[in-house]
Amino acid sequence: MIERPTKFLLALLIAAILGSFCASAADGESISLAGEWQFSLDEEDVGVDQQWYGKELSETIELPGTTDEAGYGEKTEGSTYGALSRVYKYVGPAWYKKEVIVPADWRDKKLTLFLERVLWESTVWLDGEKIGSYDSLGTPHSYELGVVEPGEHTITVRVDNSMIHMIGEKGHAYGDHMQTIWNGVVGEIKLEARPAVNIGSVKVWPDIDKKLVKVVAGINNETDKRQSVTVDCGVFEVGLDGVRARKKVKFDLEPGEVEKTINLFLGDKMELWDEFDPTLYRAELSLKAGGFFDSYRHSKSVQFGCRKIGHDGTHFVVNGRPTYMRGNLDNVHFPLTGYPAMDVEQWRRIWEISKSYGLNHIRFHSWCPPEAAFEAADKVGIYLQPEIGIWIDKWMLKDFPGLKLFGKDEEVVEYVKRERDRILEAYGNHPSFVMMGIGNELGGGDFDLMAEIMDTARERDPRRLYATSTARQLPESDDYYVSHRTNRGGTRGLRGPSTAWDYDNVLEHMDVPVIAHELGQWPVYPDFDEIDKYTGVLRARNLEGFRESARERGLLELNEEFHEATGALNVLLYKAEIEANMRSEHMAGFHLLGLQDYSGQGEALIGTLDSFYDSKGITTPEKFMRYCDVTVPLLRIEKREWRNDETLAASLQISHFGEEDIAGAVPFWKLVKEDGEVVAEGEFEARDIMVGSLADAGSLSASLEGLTEAQELTITAGLENTDIVNSWKVWVFPAVEVEMPGDVMVAESLNEDVVSHLEDGGRAVVFASNTATEKKVESKFMPVYWSLTWFPGQAGGLGHLIRDEHEALAEFPTDMHTDWQWWDIARGGHVFILNDTPFGFRPIVQPIDDFHRNNKLGAIFETRYGDGKLLVCSWDLPGKAEKSLAAKQLLYSLMQYVGGDEFLPEHELDRDLLGELLMSAQEATLAKLPEGKEKAVLFVDAAGEVDAVEQNVAYDKSKDDVLVGGDGFGYSVAADGMWRDSKGAYWFGEELAVTLDVPEGFIGTLYVHFQDSNMLDRKGEVRFEGRPVSLGEHKDKGKWVAVHVMREDTLDGTITLGAKVTDGPNLMISAIAVVPEG
């Protein structure tokens, strides 16, 4: 008889001997399939019919990788319009085949083929037998192969990167912008083995209120017998030794799957995950089953964080703390590979750069990133909003046959539902995954259906917030709203130099957080040296074309200066728009568009960083974080231009969404000259600043009496004994009398008297604001919006290059780029196209045209004229000087220059060119639009059928004279009445509103003719679709105001122009016209 201890030792010995034969698998038991695969393109799509899954393929390719990287497909030439150019391009099926050896110790195990990322559809065969197909764009393609006998086997994968479901190509899950429509397999490619009793899906549900973690694990019994199962679950804090909580459960499991919930109490050991302290935990599960010998063993590890997100009305709340989302858009920006990074380190670099610029949030515009992006964000502390991955808006339908609004195509709807579930399953445990939407700007879609889709997601996984479409509409069940407007008005945009305003009037009624949609979009002139960085699958041939056009116009030598000047304006405007967002107490955050460029999406070079996330040299993270951080001082000031007999007045606020309250904060301010001399300073009473507050620090004032020179001053404000500081520029001007030097002739055109004066060796200044030349473009302070490729026909450029050291500007404080003192000067009127001037000719003030056009422009320039000297200004500077201190100072500086000894023009321009540029155009300008009304699709003479003269007539649309009325175009007017006098007929009112019905997606120009026929100095404020429009004086013959109508303006089929009188009895409109682009 064997004694009991001996029996026990024998059992242990048998278990040890048999251990090598039993079916056990750890979480990571897998075989990588990376390496060389057989390969063949299937350009005729005959592979399935010809059973290529059972044949040898003729070529080879390295996986992970793509056909672009391997050089398969059509080798391209020339530039792709509005996008980077793929060197090799292929769309269609391609076949991949590999021989694999299943090891002997995988006998009786269940095998899975894992393809981490495929675009778009994959189909798999094992040894010629079809396993199935998969169509996810945002999650891995995983195939159950079942039990596979040890030995050699063949895996064949067919990848089709055609449009599998009709979602269009404007979104970023599928499209040729920064991502390409690539074919291949990227990321991990592997075979995985698991025992027949195993751990399946694991979800971790932290409850920070109860300080416990609920682990929900799917346990699978894929045998045909009942099994006794033990699951051991422990929670560990990543980076630290020791278990934080552990529990073991035992149960019997019939064949099939069961979900087991294990609650682990962490108590005070629970550390929370957020942007400030991204503490991570690891749930480790180990399973044993199979009787005395535990013949089935399996383990799985899941990383998670303990956090809770919600909202308290208009603000997000993370772990009970009010949180402000300082966000950026990610549109798949990988120009070297053409597909998203699949490793954690690349994503970690991007997230750390983002945080260095003060950001804490990323929205993935119409796509979902791979696992590595979530994992990196978990570690760095970034809040992510992936989207299921579609962008279908009404305006797209005419450009993409077969595309339907969301809800009209059942196949697309079902795809979205599947993708929703796959994304939640694949990435749901990541604490960085805090929000989720369906896609971008789903205008015209079925929002009730969208709400149902996201309601289902919320019910299944309430660990995050859910919304339907980014912008367009807000269903009642949405947890937040990302949009450029609410039902009361816009949530983004600028209103000039003043900072004494906010968006609260359009937000205070909201009951969910509102994130301002796609802030910024202010382009920067390209640094053409960037072209050399495109060494991968994409080439910047589009930028090469712009470089060549700059060379042809003699502008290439100014590349560095253009880049610097337009970059400075970009920084100025982003600062202003971000601060306006933060001054709004009820705003929940913003999404930049963007921190980085989109060189492949309409050449929208709107970022602080280039498409590689490298600095463009236009600012630094430290400077950016002064106005984009958890704590930001904010100044409210009515104006930027001050007289030296005024007292500067402003008020200071502190926006604070930091980790904790700031106790005993002492706000301070200083008013400083450029040389560092302090003009005035002060500090406010110490106070506690609470998290989630917009705290009023107090009012500041400073006498400017002692400042006798025109100069730039800087207001700096912050919190004492911290690095929290921000600054704003203002300008002070003395009272100056602009006297025209006696020997200088001042005129509005190059008339005969001016020519004679110049030929006699005289000096002249021409303020050519009323010229008949065709070689002119509208003058703008603001740059074009996003990109001329996507929004063509826009007037304006990208800023101004100013020769600030030129003697003509000696009495005018300016840098080499436009700043807010140029606001009134640069808006309105026109600037000249100077393409016919010599390459070396440099205007004193040179507007920088958008690089899609690359016109050489000039606003202020000088030239010899025989023995004479001529200074030309395209702006009506004398007129602007009547209301703008800066314009008056600039006029004074120019007059001082032309009357002095330094007026020595270097170049002599062609006289015929000058004559063409500077001929008078009073009648031509006024007659131009009516003569061209045959191009209009709508032309209305206001009150044209009114007979009564000099009598108030109630507004009656039937009394308008509709000269042109195209199909799909209509109008309505809100006015106090109609009026006719000897000069014409008008709509009039203290407030006027013109609403036009236009086709959805219409692009063109709206012309509105304002009149001041009885010379009552009428002035007013005009806004078009929420954007300010320059009106200016319009006495006597009136003034045509032209506004560019963008596609974004017309997506709801209407556009509105509103006008409000500021001086005079009312405003008067005599005509409107709508002219399509082109």
List the CATH number of the domain containing 553. Answer: 3.20.20.80
Phi and psi at 943, nearest 5°, equal 55, 25
Q: Quick one: 563 and 613 in the same domain?
A: yes
Checking if the pLDDT of 9 tops 70, the result is no
User: Residue 485 has what pLDDT?
Assistant: 93
Asked, for residue 949, whether it belongs to a domain, the answer is: yes
Place of tokens 């260095």: 356
In the structure encoding, which two tokens stand for residue 375, read together? 């994992």
**886 by DSSP, 3-state: which?**
helix
Q: Which of 485, 401, 462 is nearest to 166 (CA)?
A: 401
Do residues 893 and 955 both lie within one domain?
Answer: no
Asked if residue 738 is part of any domain, the answer here is: no
- What CA–CA distance (Å, rounded) separates 490 from 251? 58
Residue at which a domain ends, from 157, 173, 194: 194
Strand (E) or helix (H) holding 569: helix 559-582
Q: Which position has the token pair 């809770």?
A: 308
Q: Are residues 389 and 474 in the same domain?
A: yes
824 and 858 together in one domain: yes
What is the C-alpha to C-alpha distance for residues 710 and 734, in angstroms, rounded to an integer? Answer: 6
Query: What integer pLDDT is reported at residue 2 of this predicted model?
Result: 37
Last residue of a domain, one of 920, 953, 983: 920
Cα–Cα distance list, 732 to 43, 402, 504, 708, 895 (Å): 69, 60, 31, 9, 19
Pair (876, 751) in one structural domain? yes
Q: What is the pLDDT of residue 742?
A: 85
Helix (H, G, I), strand (E, B) or coil at 906: coil
- Are 387 and 507 part of one and the same domain? yes
Give the pLDDT confidence of 437-470 residue by residue, as tens digits: 999 999 999 999 999 999 999 999 999 999 999 9
pLDDT band at 933 (very low <50, low <70, confident <90, very high): low
Is residue 217 within 8 A of residue 231, CB to CB? The reply is: yes
Query: 42 and 176: one domain?
Result: yes
Residue among 398, 421, 408, 852 nearest 602 (CA): 852
pLDDT tens digits, one per residue of 761-781? 999 999 999 888 889 999 999
Determine how β-strand 514-520 pairs with β-strand 589-593. parallel
- Cα→Cα distances 208→270, 425, 435, 678, 1058, Å: 8, 22, 18, 50, 51
DSSP for 83-114 reads S-EESEE--SEEEEEEEEEE-GGGTT-EEEEE
pLDDT at 398: 86
CB 95 within 8 A of CB 184: no
Whether residue 520 contacts residue 594, with contact meaning beta carbons closer than 8 Å, is answered with yes
Band (pLDDT 50/70/90 cuts) for residue 626 is very high
Q: Does the pLDDT at position 492 exceed 60?
A: yes
pLDDT of 671-694, one tens digit each?
A: 999 999 999 999 999 999 999 999
User: Is 17's pLDDT higher than 60?
Assistant: no
- CATH no. for residue 134? 2.60.120.260
Evaluate if residue 114 carries a pLDDT over 60. yes
- Res. 15: pLDDT tops 70: no
pLDDT tens track for 559-580: 999 999 999 999 999 999 999 9
Helix (H, G, I), strand (E, B) or coil at 549: helix
Does residue 537 surpass a pLDDT of 50? yes
- Which is it for strands 514-520 and 481-483: parallel, antiparallel or unpaired? parallel
Mean pLDDT of 611-625: 98
Are 804 and 887 in contact by the 8 Å Cβ rule? The answer is no
**pLDDT of 1:** 37
* Co-location of 300 and 323 in the same domain: no
pLDDT of 947 over the 70 cut:
yes
Which helix (H) or strand (E) covers residue 233, if one does? strand 227-237
Specify the pLDDT at position 931.
Answer: 57
Tokens of 759: 């030929």
Please state the rounded mean pLDDT for residues 963-987. 91
DSSP 754: H
Q: DSSP label at 393?
A: -
Strand, coil or helix: what is 516? strand
Rounded CA-CA distance 907/611 in Å is: 40
Q: In terms of domains, do 809 and 835 share one?
A: yes
Q: How large is the average pLDDT for residues 270-277? A: 98
Tokens coding 984: 């014409």
Residue 5 — very low, low, confident or very high, per pLDDT cuts 50/70/90?
Answer: very low
Q: Worst-scoring range by mean pLDDT, 139-148, 244-253, 512-521, 1038-1047?
A: 1038-1047
| pLDDT tier for residue 344 given thresholds of 50, 70 and 90 | very high
The answer to whether 1009 and 1039 are in contact (CB under 8 A) is yes
- pLDDT at 1063 exceeding the cut of 70: yes
Q: Does any domain span residue 10? A: no
| Confidence at residue 601, expressed as pLDDT on a 0 to 100 scale | 83
Q: What is the pLDDT of residue 656?
A: 98
Q: Distance between CA atoms of 270 and 304, rounded to whole angstroms?
A: 12
pLDDT tier, 1077 (very low <50, low <70, confident <90, very high otherwise)? confident
Q: Is residue 694 a part of any domain in this protein?
A: no
DSSP state of 615: B
Residue 692 lies in a domain: no
pLDDT of 934 reads 63
Q: Which residue has the higher pLDDT, 1073 or 926?
A: 1073
Residue 827 pLDDT: 94
Question: Per-residue confidence at 821, pLDDT binned at 50, 70, 90?
Answer: very high
The amino acid at residue 758 is L
Q: Is residue 20 very low, low, confident or very high in pLDDT (cuts 50, 70, 90)?
A: very low
**Lowest-pLDDT range, 123-132, 636-645, 924-933, 1016-1025?**
924-933
Last residue of a domain, one of 888, 920, 952: 920
The predicted structure's pLDDT at residue 1078: 67
Burial, 997: exposed, middle or buried (Cβ in 10 Å; 0-12, 13-18, 19+)? middle
pLDDT at 994 over 90: yes
Structural domain boundaries enclosing 989: 926-1076
Number of domains forming the structure of the chain: 6
| Calpha distance 578→590 (Å, rounded) | 8
Indicate which CATH number applies to the domain containing 272. Answer: 2.60.40.10
Q: How confident is the model at residue 18 (pLDDT cuts 50, 70, 90)?
A: very low
| Domain-embedded: residue 691 | no
Its pTM stands at: 0.88
- Report in angstroms the alpha-carbon separations of 862 from 707, 764, 765, 859, 903: 31, 10, 9, 10, 9
Is 898 within a domain? yes
Task: Work out the number of other CB atoms within 10 angstroms of the CB of residue 164.
Answer: 16
Q: Quick one: 217 and 118 in the same domain?
A: no
Mean pLDDT of 69-81: 96
User: Residues in the chain, how many?
Assistant: 1078
The pLDDT tens digits of the residues spanning 400-416 come to 899 999 999 999 999 99
Q: Please, which residues bridge with residue 158 across strands?
A: 95, 123
In a domain, residue 17? The reply is no
Q: Given pLDDT bands bounded at 50, 70 and 90, which one contains residue 839? A: very high
pLDDT for 927 equals: 31
* CATH code of the domain in which 1047 resides: 2.60.120
Assess whether 771 and 829 both reside in one domain: yes
- Same domain for 799 and 720: no
Mean pLDDT of 1002-1008: 90
Nearest C-alpha neighbor of 789 from the set 7, 224, 79: 79
Q: Percent of the chain at pLDDT above 90?
A: 85
Output the pLDDT for position 922: 39
